[in-house]
Amino acid sequence: MNGYQWIGLIGGLMVAFGFVPQIIKVLRTRSTHDLSLFMLLIIFIGGLFYTTYAFLAGDPVFIIINLLATGNTLLLLILKLIYR
């Protein structure tokens, strides 16, 4: 991996795991009152498009990062619907 790829990997992992603290908080408090359903839907749909693009581009690192990010967003979206 060259320097550019490392920068992309680190940035991608930070984005992919960016929702983990929020997921933990929701699981502890069982409250999603302050989370916007519309925002989560937009991010999830965008993640689906980005993941599709990653598959079409054939970049395995990009695919994994986008699957993680979209999966975390989906989990938070499900928690939002459960803990309304």
Report how far residue 68's alpha carbon sits from residue 72's, in angstroms, rounded to the nearest whole number: 6
Tell me, yes or no, whether 22 lies in a domain.
Answer: no
Q: Supply the pLDDT for residue 43.
A: 96
Let me know if residue 54 belongs to a domain.
Answer: yes
Q: How far is residue 26's CA from residue 73's CA, in Å, rounded to a whole number? A: 13
Type of residue found at 48? L
Contact 40, 69 (CB under 8 A): no
Rg (CA), the chain: 14
The residue-averaged pLDDT of 47-56 equals 96
Global pTM exceeds 0.85: yes
pLDDT at 2: 83
pLDDT category, 3, cuts 50, 70, 90?
Answer: confident
Domain count, the chain: 1
Q: Which domain holds residue 45?
A: 36-84
- Is residue 30 a part of any domain in this protein? no
pLDDT tens digits, one per residue of 12-47: 999 999 999 999 999 999 999 999 999 999 999 999
| The pLDDT of residue 61 | 87
